[in-house]
Chain A
Amino acid sequence: MSQCTSNLWSAALHADDLARRDTWLHRLDPRTHVTITVAYLLAVLSLPLHDLSRLILLAAYPIWTALAGGVPFAYLARRVAIAAPWIVLVAVSWIWLDRRPLVPGHPWPTAGCLAAASLLARLALTVAAASLLLALTGLSGLTSGLLGMRVPPLCVAQLWILHRYALVLSDEAARLLRARALRSAGRRLTWRQAGTLLGQLCVRAFDRAERVHRAMEMRGFDGHSLRAFEICTRRLRATDLAYASAMILWILWARFGDGAAGLGRRLMQLAP
């Protein structure tokens, strides 16, 4: 069990490692990436469910960003697979329930297939965009970006401490489980024992919090101003503004423009 969790965590920490690369995309301000990602998510999700062709066009953004930022596609694929099961279920329900033919006279493919394909495409694009945001900014960049976007420092402090100590406490949980497993002769964990283990873990969290708190007070933390967490955010530079506006214009064009369809029509006219 602990093996599984540590794998999960190492995968999660790997995502943060990607942010340590030094490409020109990584050097942009985190707020730039946040803005572009939000615009992109809104564009993808505001499409009607049966509009697959624009989704294909919009796939250009994650592909371009992954390429320019040096983010491996295997990492993106892994994250999409993690998020997939529930959405695959909904996609299957579309195929099952909506069997109207798309083309009159042909029973296959059905409208449900189109909806399912479009749903899976939405899944891939949204998860890829969110994963790219983390891979380009990292959690530290993202949290300082959040401070720059006026998110209360109290919330950002929560993210910070959580990120630092979730792994530590997961190790403690693994130790508790191992200690119990060695003494329990393979019996399953009852809910009362689970209460004791969870309580133990909770007490350890309290004790560690006490120590962390004292250490923070020693370094000037006074409980209210949260000065320790207020990282100076720099001003947005011209390159940030230029890149953000270029990307948002492109996203708007891909979402609302007729360019790709017009191109397709022209190509079909060219064909004999």
Chain B
Amino acid sequence: MHMADALISPAVGLTMWAVAGGSVARAVRRLRNETAELPVPRMGLLGAFVFAAQMINFSIPGTGSSGHLAGGLLLTLLLGSDAAILVMAAVLTIQALLFADGGLLALGCNIVNMAVIPSYVAYPLVYRPLAAFSNSSSARRRLATVLAAIVGVELGAFAVVVETLLSGVTPLSFATFAALMLPIHLAIGLVEGIATVAVVEWLERVRPETVREPAQAESRLAAVIGLAALFIAGILSWLASSRPDGLEWSLQRTAPGWEESPPPSKLHAALARVQQRTSWFPDYDFTSPGEQEPANETAAWPAVSLGTSLAGVLGSVIVLGATVAIGLLVRPRSRQAPTP
């Protein structure tokens, strides 16, 4: 899921850097204000643990394949959201610098996809409401962990799709790209969840003090607002997709001959072309592309509407994140001096 520099445009990269930077700044300030003594070495060592944990490959039941822990959710459960974001950001930075795994301009994207989404979206919106008031190692806690892992990984994968498409570097249509990415990451999220459950339960048996109790929905308001935004965005984009060709229709009305005029740029032309081609994606294994006429567009609509709804959801998450980040940046400084 690590994005490379070559696949993003500066606009997307810098926007995501702003979101990631805002989230990290928020995490740092909250840690400074709220924690009596920062567990700095513990955070660093758990980051190193996430590195080392990727060596331990285990077989996935029912399939022939194997997987490993990615660690975003586990760190959140062990350290809390704020510290987990800092640790994951450091892990991703080291991976980008030392292992060429993920780019520098894409680091903001990677921090958002793999640190901010699990810690600030999946954990408070999925894990906390589900796991609140539950006993450790109860079925409800397990379910909450697995679901939070799946939601975190799927939203992260979705963000990859949206960031790549917004950068305009892939010829794949949104629906095709999402259909490629999401099922794979469903399986990855499931594995992540199961591995997290296994580690947390083992730690609770051996070192109960290391696992943090789920807070009793302290930021319920934030969760409610977030869910409402997701819901509204989903509904709105679904409604929007029921009139898919509104823009095209209005352009034709306002500018006769619009269809014949050359598209504004080569890239735009390429994307339009590709969109036409991928609209008959289900058959493209059977016929050679040259012979096939583009199918009429209405046939592709039922398949696209779900993707559009999800895009609205993700867009709202991104806009929400960007707004929060900008708000935090322009907010007046707290009385506490930032660094002596």
Interface pairs (23), CB distance under 8 Å: A12-B99, A45-B9, A86-B4, A90-B169, A90-B170, A97-B277, A97-B278, A158-B89, A159-B93, A162-B87, A163-B98, A166-B94, A170-B51, A170-B55, A173-B52, A174-B55, A189-B57, A189-B58, A193-B58, A195-B202, A205-B45, A209-B45, A224-B37
- Asked if A83 contacts B101 (CB within 8 A), the reply is yes
Contacts of B66 in A (CB 8 A): 188-189
User: Does residue A100 face the partner (Cβ distance < 8 Å to B)?
Assistant: yes
A26 on the interface (CB 8 Å rule)?
A: no
Cα distance, A5 to B51, chains bound together (Å)? 10
**Is residue A157 contacting chain B, with contact meaning CB distance below 8 A?**
yes
- State whether A111 touches B48 (Cβ < 8 A): no
Stretch at the interface among B123-131, B192-200, B310-318: B192-200
> Would you call A201 and B49 a contact (CB within 8 A)?
yes
Given contact pairs A86-B4, A134-B97, A192-B198, A111 touches B42 in the complex (Cβ within 8 A): no
Q: Please tell me if A194 contacts chain B, counting CB pairs below 8 Å.
A: yes
Is A130 an interface residue, CB under 8 A from the partner? yes
| Min C-beta distance of A131 to chain B, whole Å | 6
- Count of residues in A whose CB is under 8 Å from the partner chain: 96
A/B pair count, beta carbons within 8 Å: 287
Q: Mark B84-114, 1 if CB is under 8 A from A, else 0.
A: 0011011101101111110111000000000
Of the residues A49, A111, A130, A165, contact of B100 by C-beta under 8 Å: A130
Are B86 and A155 neighbours in the complex by a CB distance under 8 Å?
Answer: yes
* A85: nearest chain-B partner, CB-CB: B4
Binding site for A on B (CB under 8 A): 4-10, 13, 24-25, 28, 31-32, 37-49, 51-53, 55-61, 66, 69, 78, 86-87, 89-91, 93-94, 96-101, 103-105, 168-172, 191, 194-195, 197-199, 201-203, 206-207, 210, 265-267, 270, 273-274, 277-278, 289-290, 338-340
Check A201/B52 contact, CB under 8 A, given A94-B171, A98-B270. yes
Q: Please report whether the interface of chain B is mostly helix, strand, loop or mixed according to DSSP.
A: helix
> Contact partner of B273 among A98, A122, A157, CB < 8 A?
A98
**A100 contacts which chain B residues (CB < 8 A)?**
270, 273
Contact A41 B199 (CB under 8 A): no
User: In whole angstroms, how far apart are the Cα atoms of A130 and B13 in the complex?
Assistant: 15
Q: Are B9 and A196 in contact (CB under 8 A)?
A: no
A111 contacts B94, C-beta separation under 8 Å: no
A142 cross-chain contacts in B, Cβ below 8 A:
97
Please give the residue numbers on chain A whose beta carbons come within 8 Å of chain B beta carbons, in ascending order: 1-2, 5, 8, 12-13, 15-16, 37-38, 41-42, 44-46, 48-50, 79-80, 82-83, 86-87, 90, 93-94, 97-100, 111-112, 115, 119, 122-123, 126-127, 130-131, 133-134, 139, 142, 152-155, 157-166, 168-170, 172-174, 176-177, 188-199, 201-203, 205-206, 208-210, 212-213, 216, 221, 223-227
Taking each of B24, B93, B278, which has the highest tally of chain A beta carbons within 10 Å of its own beta carbon? Answer: B93
Q: Is the CB of B103 within 8 A of A223?
A: no
Which B-chain residue is minimally distant from A125 (CB atoms)? B6
Task: Give the chain B neighbours of A206 by CB distance below 8 A.
Answer: 42, 45-46, 207, 210
